[in-house]
Amino acid sequence: MTPVIVLVLAKAPQPGRVKTRLCPPATPRQAARVAAAALLDTLDAAAAMPGARPVVALAGDVDAGESASELGRPFHHIPVIGQRGSSLGDRIAAAHADTAQLYPGYPVLQIGMDTPQVSAHLLQGCRDRLLEPGTDAVLGLAEDGGWWLLGLRDPRHAAAIAAVPTSRPDTGARTRLALAEHGLRIAAAPGLADVDTMPVARAVASTVPGSRFAAAVELIR
């Protein structure tokens, strides 16, 4: 089985800095707890995928956020690199470049902490698509027009999307176009909903009963 890096782009779950669109009805601290739960569930999925080596690209100070002690446990066993760059596109490209230096020659699946419904089985399917002959990249579109997963055989090719505007209804389409213009052959991954608003959070929570994420969302009234 070909090993693959699962690169998780994450923010430290500090109140007032993450999941702010959940407020109201969530308080800033509740929103941060939802973010922490989403990150922990995502790390569990990455760790459970056969042949995966998780890496976290982190912005912020986990020790200053919610669930610091619980997050500290997986972070002791997972390489953590700092995010760098002025825009999200720059930070994504830099995270891929830094991962390529850390694990030369490994393919990368990059996800965020906004899809806590992701599973090891789903990630494994994305890895299989990426490693099919004639495929250079896998892109999983999000329901809001962005994307939730970017897989690259050569993570250095993430530089092709550094200038793509993010948080727009056409971000996913623009990302696919930028990859294609870079000469990459692209396969599609299943679509998922990014958790940004309370209605979406509740809908996603209903699909993962018993998860940390579902428990954190359930506390918000």
Q: Reduce the DSSP state of residue 219 to 3 states and report it.
A: coil
pTM, 2 dp: 0.94
Domain residue limits, the chain: 4-218
For the chain, percent of residues with pLDDT exceeding 70:
100
Structure tokens at 46: 């990455």
List, for residues 169-217, the tens digit of each pLDDT value: 999 999 999 999 999 999 999 999 999 999 999 999 999 999 999 999 9
CA distance 83 to 74: 18
- Looking at the domain 4-218, which fold is it? Spore Coat Polysaccharide Biosynthesis Protein SpsA; Chain A (3.90.550)
Q: Is the pLDDT of residue 119 over 90?
A: yes
Q: Is the pLDDT of residue 51 over 80?
A: yes
Q: What is the pLDDT of residue 2?
A: 74
Alpha helices, DSSP H only, in the chain?
28-48, 68-75, 88-102, 120-130, 171-181, 198-207, 212-218
Q: Is the pLDDT of residue 65 over 70?
A: yes
CA distance 199 to 64: 28
